Amino acid sequence: MTTRFFMLQAHYSSTLDFTNDALDAAEKGYKRLMNALGVLDKLEISGSGDPKVSEEIKTNLKEAMLNLCDDLNTAKCIANLFELSSIINAIANNQSSAPDGDTLVRLRKEFRTLLVDVLGLMPEAQESGSNTDGLMQLLIELRQNARKNKDFATSDRIRDQLAGMGIQLKDGPSGTEWSLVNLQ
């Protein structure tokens, strides 16, 4: 998926500079978009939202489609998706108001369509399988129980050992999320 993302970041008629640094940057970008996709699915729908945020989302969705229609400019489409991922993360972290419910439903549908169906970028969870997700949820639950019981040594040990295996835990307002990180 990282290699696919790397190639999609440039226009198909452009020359690619295939280096380790470029692939590392592509991996970070890919993970950022996949993280936004996961966060987007967990956002709560509210009736009336901020009209400015709603308009910004609609503008970026429209521009992303127009960029694809302009000689399949995937690089500019991905730039719009990054802009949308910034908005998604700001909403999730309570740094921005939420859009109205209809716009959020549209964002969920079109963001996933552009990312998965059009660009063909699959989330890592689909690649790794549901056993991994279930195991991680169990570990997160054990860690949360340890924290609730003020057993911070166990909680820290779970977090640190997972980090040593390349798994990062992120505690946030919607609970604890996990992601794979690149160990080098």
In tens, the pLDDT along 114-167 reads 999 999 998 865 444 557 778 888 899 999 999 999 999 999 999 999 888 888
Q: Could you tell me which residue, 53 or 124, shows the higher pLDDT? A: 53
Half-sphere exposure of 39 (CA within 13 A, CB side): 22
Rounded (10°) angle between helices 20-42 and 101-112:
140
Report the predicted TM-score, pTM, of the whole model to 2 decimal places.
0.68
- With 80 as the cut, is the pLDDT of residue 65 above it? yes
Domain extent listing, the chain: 2-126, 129-180
Cβ(53)–Cβ(91) under 8 Å?
A: yes
pLDDT number for residue 124: 65
Q: Could you tell me which residue, 76 or 48, shows the higher pLDDT? A: 76
Q: Quick one: average pLDDT of 33-37?
A: 93
pLDDT band at 172 (very low <50, low <70, confident <90, very high): confident
Say how far apart CA 37 and CA 92 lie, in whole Å: 12
In the chain, the N- to C-terminal Cα span, in Å, equals: 19
pLDDT tens profile 2-22: 899 999 998 888 888 889 999
Cβ neighbours of residue 159 closer than 8 Å, sequence gap 6 or more? 143, 169
